[in-house]
Copies of this chain bind each other. A is one copy, B any other.
């Protein structure tokens, strides 16, 4: 029987660290938008890199936004999803900028984009979907 189970914060962070591509949900021109973004999990925030555009404008506005990651295994109907909710801010401090520029992070749409944005991790939730089997599967690196 299919069931939906909540994930712990530790499981959510392990899944966030195991991935680098998520979908950012925010508002642009009063409309909901979802865009693919690369990210780094920095513990209390996710780091994004972006060019001049709607994500940067949302950061300038200090918007509340969310980032989602998921995986599905259609045949067995198993999967999981993790949702981070927080506030977007552009990193403007020169010392912080110098530090993040050294990190291995490329923007999804424009790899060499020059702006860095933090999504604070205020809310973290995750759920796994699956049958009554052991989860996570062996070898996924998820504790």
Where the two chains meet, the residues of A that have a C-beta atom closer than 8 Å to any C-beta of B are 2, 4, 21, 23-27, 31-36, 64-68, 70, 72, 77, 79, 81, 83, 85, 106, 108-111, 123, 127, 129
Complex Cα spacing A67 to B79, Å: 19
Copies in the complex: 2
Complex partner residue of A25 from B33, B77, B85, B106, CB under 8 angstroms: B33
Residues of B within 8 A of A25 (CB): 23, 25, 32-34
B68 touches A2 (CB 8 A): no
Residues of B within 8 A of A127 (CB): 109
- Assuming the A-B contacts A25-B25, A72-B21, A111-B77, are A85 and B129 also in contact, with contact meaning beta carbons closer than 8 angstroms in the complex? no
Residues of B within 8 A of A4 (CB): 109-110
Measured CB to CB, the closest approach of chain B to A27, in angstroms, equals: 7
Complex Cα spacing A42 to B31, Å: 22
Candidate in A35, A123, A127 with the most chain B CB atoms within 10 angstroms: A35
Complex Cα spacing A4 to B4, Å: 38
B109 touches A35 (CB 8 A): no
A35 touches B68 (CB 8 A): yes
